[in-house]
Structure 1
Amino acid sequence: MKNYQKPNPEVWTGRSSEKELYLHEKINCIDLTKDPLETVKDKSFAVLGYVCDEGVKRNQGRIGAVEGPQAIRKMMASLSNHFSSDVQLLDVGNMTCIDQDLEETQQDTSDSIALLLQHAIFPIVLGGGHDLAYAHYNGIKKQFPNKTIGIINLDAHFDLRKVEGKGNSGTPFFQIAQENKDFNYLCLGIQKESNNRELFEVATNYKVDYLLNTEFTSQNKQKVAQTVANFINTVDLVYLTIDIDGFSSAYAPGVSAPSPFGFSIDIAMETIQQICKSNKLISADLVELNPTYDIDNCTARLAARIAYYMMTWL
């Protein structure tokens, strides 16, 4: 894997203790090309970085998401460790994009995700652009070829643009739909203003389930919960992808495409909890964090807390 970059332990720093009181003291850095992967008694999680915003660039977005994985790691490092000794937390490094070869980066990412799943390790992949989703789905499919995989996307955008030339951060779910007869996709937080009529037509043609940002609210949480439950009941496994730019820019200014009318933290967290408790969630990612535009690391802190929250409920 020429795109692979081993983890940097220096990212994981913070207060010191003798009792592993902080995540930076608990995490183990593993070189996927050398170190053996082992699962532990309870649960194993692996942080994998997708250090790539070539897809964002191709999609004419503002670049900077390439710095997202390290920014999230830094904010995770100082979080308090409330996990038991039976929970294993790994940093397995990054996938980088060399010579603008997005497709090769996606292939290496897919292989790495499949390897983690093969060892019963839950991947938490940090982006990077949302083109990660194409790689992520294929990694799950490689390991579970006979399972029905459902995609739940918390996002302002469908990312169902038709591929014109090469794939990008706006095309991953269209690519998945094109290559898989069994396409199961639920998108929460869709904004009409950010998706043109053709994208809604593509969503209809592929029978995509979705809730608009005006529906994905705490005031409407019963309908949200029922929509999520109905979708989960139709699939064997769930892949959760969270586009940070789906949140209101009041919470997440440091993203590729800020959303002043995005969803709130409370409904997102309730939904994530529900998905985690379904016992079908197999893998997850966080994408489109752009530290260049962040304010006091608040967006990176949000992403770090979401990752922590998922591990807690899993």
Structure 2
Amino acid sequence: MTIWQGRTDPEFNSERWHQRVRPLSENAAAGCALLGFASDSGVARNQGRVGAAKGPVAIRRALASQAWHRQGPAYDVGDVICEGDALEQAQQHLGERLAPLLDAGHLPVVLGGGHEIAFGSWLGLARHLENQGNKSPRVGIINLDAHFDLRDPQHVRSSGTPFAQIAEQCEELGWSFHYACLGVSRASNTRALFERAAELQVLIREDRDFSPTAIEELRQDVERFIASCDHLYLTVDLDVLPACEAPGVSAPAARGVSLVLFEPLIETIRDSGKLRLADLAELNPDYDIDNRTAKLAARLVHLLTLNG
């Protein structure tokens, strides 16, 4: 909680996040629950540049001084820390931490950490749905990302495999797999990955599909996807944004999609009434400039939780 510090204004009704975030207590009212995932083991396995394990602290620091506009409470529930290369154990631990938060009615926002965060987030949501007696829930995964992250996990499990792992688990559970990847860079994904995405019937919208004139059509695509699902999990890989907006990531985008173009889609997802869980991945403070990426991630937390 010592991270939650910042400016305090004397005017009435001028609170900021650092003045409102509290530790989670027993029987606390449902609210936004911030949980860190301090890991870049998956990035290292994926031969990326490490440093994302420092992401949760950087996001909290950037969020602390943002203006408070929520109605409901917000809680900091600490971090899941990946020790060394113990990625699978950390993902299991993340799932174990998330399930009771979801059971209690909170909206967890997980702060990463590499995109290996996604499989841990999924484990928590799946456990929660099983706890609720859902036999075959239709869970929609919406990934804002330059990469599919559908690489074959049989070789090595990393930040590049989480959605392939989720697809495998859905098959084992007898659940349908609903996956949308928005902002995909064709230059950064092999033909094999596009073929795998086609096999899994992934909703694909490439970075070049995004423009101000295309936003309404894209929003309708997202609405149709949402209509086919009972629950939503939103995951944002910050490397989907242009390098000028998000320089502090593990794999900076040569093109990317601006936050201005994503915001209407995020609002549609947030306001759907189906969003159960969100996470932010790949913030690497070691390569950030003027905390641009951390501030952008904090802005996303603000946007996702604004109506709570």
- 1:169 pairs with 2:154: no
Take 1:222 and 1:269, find their aligned partners in 2: how far apart are those partners?
12
Asked whether the 8 Å contact 1:188–1:216 carries over to 2, the reply is no
Which whole-Å CA distance do the structure 2 matches of 1:103 and 1:241 have between them? 19
Match of residue 307, structure 1, among 279, 297, 301: 301
Shift of 1:152: 0.2
Question: What amino acid does structure 1 have at the position aligned with 2:39?
Answer: C
Match 2:197 to one of 203, 212, 231: 203
- C-alpha distance in 2, partners of 1:197/1:239? 26
**Whole-angstrom CA distance in 2 between matches of 1:292 and 1:52:** 14
Task: Tell me how far 1:20 sits from its aligned partner.
Answer: 6.5
1:5 is matched with: none
Structure 1 partner of 2:111: 126
For residue 192 of structure 1, what is the aligned residue in structure 2? Answer: 186
Q: Secondary structure at the match of 1:258?
A: coil
Select 2:243's aligned residue among 235, 238, 249.
Answer: 249
Conservation of the 8 A alpha-carbon contact between 2:140 and 2:233: yes
Q: Given the alignment of the two structures, is residue 106 of structure 1 paired with residue 91 of structure 2, yes or no?
A: yes
Once residues 134 and 188 of structure 1 are traced to their aligned partners in structure 2, the CA distance between those partners, rounded to angstroms, is 18
Matched, 1:53 2:40: yes
The residue that corresponds to 1:63 in the other structure is: 50
Check whether the contact 2:242–2:258 (CA below 8 A) recurs between aligned residues.
Answer: yes
Question: Residue 253 of structure 1 contacts residue 294 of structure 1 at CA under 8 Å; is this kept in 2?
Answer: yes
The AA in structure 1 aligned to 2:281 is: V
Which residue is 1:77 aligned to? 64
- Alpha carbons 2:70, 2:307 under 8 Å: kept: no
Percent identity over paired residues: 41
In structure 2, how many angstroms separate the alpha carbons of the residues matched to 1:20 and 1:105? Answer: 38
Match 2:5 to one of 10, 13, 17: 13
Equivalent runs, 1:18-57 vs 2, <5 Å: 21-30=15-24, 35-40=25-30, 44-57=31-44
Rounded to whole Å, the distance in 2 between the matches of 1:80 and 1:15 is 10
**CA deviation vs aligned residue, 1:97-118 (integer Å, no higher than 9, x gap):** 1241101100010011111001
CA contact (8 A) 2:41 2:84 kept: no
Following the alignment from structure 1 to structure 2, what is the Cα–Cα distance between the partners of residues 163 and 204? 18
Tell me which moved more, 230-239 or 12-21. Answer: 12-21
In structure 1, the partner of 2:121 is: 136
Structure 2: runs of 5 or more not aligned: none
Query: Deviation per CA, 1:52-87, whole angstroms, max 9, x where unpaired?
Result: 000000000000100111000000000111223xx1
Distance 1:165 1:78 in 2: 43
Q: Which secondary structure state, in structure 2, belongs to the residue aligned with residue 180 of structure 1?
A: helix
Question: What letter corresponds to residue 56 of structure 2 in structure 1?
Answer: P
What value does the CA root-mean-square deviation take over the aligned residues?
1.3
- C-alpha separation between the residues in 2 aligned to 1:252 and 1:114? 30
Give the match for residue 274 of structure 1: 268
Q: Compute the displacement of 1:279 (Å).
A: 0.8
Q: Which amino acid aligns with 1:70?
A: V
1:168 corresponds to which letter in structure 2? Answer: S
Q: Secondary structure at the match of 1:272?
A: helix
Code of the aligned partner of 1:226: Q
Shift of the alpha carbon at 1:179? 1.5
Contact 1:273 1:313 in 2 (8 A): no
Contact 1:20–1:26 (CA under 8 A) maintained in structure 2: no
In structure 1, the gaps of 5 or more residues are: 1-8
Structure 1 runs, 4 residues or longer, greater than 3 Å off: 17-20
- TM-score by length of structure 1 reads 0.92
Q: Is the 8 A contact 2:5 2:65 kept in 1?
A: yes
Q: Which residue is equivalent to 1:117?
A: 102
Q: CA deviation at 1:223?
A: 1.7
Q: Which one-letter code corresponds to 2:129 in the other structure? A: F
Match of 1:6 in 2: none
